[in-house]
Structure 1
Amino acid sequence: MPRLILLCGLPGSGKTTLAKRLAAEIPAVRLCPDEWMADLGIDLFDEQTRDRLERRFWEHAQDLLGLGRSVILEFGFWARSERDEKRSGARALGVAVELHYLAAPIDELCRRLEARNAEGRPGTVPISRESLAEYATVFQAPDADELGLFDEPPACRRG
C-alpha cells in the first residue's frame, strides 16, 4: 500500500539523510525542493518560487500516490496547517500518512550545518546561528496530540 511520508524539522535536523534512507528501503519517490532549486540555479531563499515548486510537488505526489507509489515530501513542514493539509489530502486518497519529526538543540543543528557547509554539498547554503534561532521562533513543532493523528510506520521499519 502506498504511503505519504512527511519530514518535519529545522535545517540540519537530518531530513535529507532520513529521506534518502527511507526512499531506498520502502522504495519511495523523494521530493526535495532544495535539491531541485539548487539544480535549476534558483536562489534557495526565493520563497515565491519555493511555494510554487512545493505546490507542484504536492500535485505530483497525489498523482504518484494514486498510482500506488509511496512518496516522501522533504519540505520541512514548519507550520501545523501545512501538515494538516497534506494529511487530509492523502487520507482523501485512502493513503496512510506518516509524520517524522526530527528535533535537535540549536547547538547541534549549528554543528551539523557547519559540517555540511564544510563538505560543500550541492544544494546547501550557509545558515547562520542567528537565522537558525529566528527560524526556531516561527517553527511549530508537532505535539503529542498532533503526532497521534498520523499513522505509525509499518512494523518492518519501526525501531
Structure 2
Amino acid sequence: MAKVHLVEGPVGAGKSTFVAKLSKEHAAPSLILDAWFVRLYSPDHPVEGLMHWYAERKERCLSQIWATSLDILGAGHDVILELGLVERASRERFYALVESAGYELTIYLLDAPRDVRRERVRQRNREKGPTYAMEVPDVFFELASDHWEPVNETERERFGVRVIA
C-alpha cells in the first residue's frame, strides 16, 4: 500500500535537500508547500498584513496539496510531503487526515543549531540553487524559527519519528 512520507523541521534544517533524496529513493513525487505557495501567491503579496494574508493562503495550499496527495496515493504511489507544519496543532490535524484516509505515515525530522540554519538560509538566498523557493530575510528566518514547535516525545513515540542527522 502507498505511504505518506512527511518531512518536518525548522527553516534551514535541510528539509528540501532531504526531500529530493527521499523522492529519488522511493520514486515518489514530492509536494512542497513553499514551491506551491510561491508559484500561486507570491506575486500578489501585500506590503502590510502579510502574516494574515499568508496564513489564509497556506491553508488553501495545504488543502489542495492533500487532495493531490490522495490522488497519487489512490493510484498506488507513495508521496513525499514538506508542508511547513511548524505548530504541533497543525501537525496533529494532518496526522488525523492521514489516519482517516487509512494510509501509513512515516515522519522524518530534521534540525540543526539555529546559527547553522541561519547561515544555510543566507547561503541559499545568495546562491538561489536547486532548493531555493523564495528569499528568506533574516527577520523572517528569526520569526519562523521562533514559531517552530519541536516534535515532542508523544509525537515521536506515536509515529516512530525518524530523526535525520
Q: Distance in 2 between matches of 1:10 and 1:152?
A: 15
Residue aligning to 2:148: 139
One-letter amino acid matched to 1:107: D
Query: 1:52 aligns to what?
Result: 60
Q: Identify the residue that residue 24 of structure 2 maps to in structure 1.
A: 24
SS of residue matched to 1:126: coil
Deviations 1:17-73 (A, max 9, x none): 011111111021211122233344625765132321111111111222222211111
Supply the AA of the counterpart residue of 1:99.
I
CA displacement 1:75-126 (0-9 Å, x = unmatched): 1210112222222222223211011111111100111011111112352213
2:109 to 80, 83, 101: 101
Question: Which one has a larger percent helix, Structure 1 or Structure 2?
Answer: 2
Asked if the contact 1:2/1:68 (under 8 Å) is kept, the reply is yes
Asked whether 1:15 is paired with 2:15, we answer yes
SS of structure 1 residue aligned to 2:83: strand
Give the equivalent residue in structure 2 for 1:123: 133
Identity %: 25
- Give the paired residue count: 154
Kindly state the Cα deviation for residue 144 of structure 1 after the two structures are TM-superposed: 2.0
Task: Note the 1:72-83 alignment, pairs <5 A.
Answer: 72-83=80-91
Whole-Å separation in 1 of the counterparts to 2:121 and 2:161: 29
Partner SS state of residue 134, structure 1: helix
The residue type paired with residue 29 of structure 1 is P
Partners of 1:138 and 1:81 in 2: how far apart? 12
Structure 1 residues without counterparts, runs of 5 or longer: none
Moved over 6 A (4+): none
RMSD: 2.4
Aligned partners of 2:33 and 2:84 also within 8 Å: no
Does the 8 Å CA contact 1:15/1:102 hold for their aligned counterparts?
Answer: yes
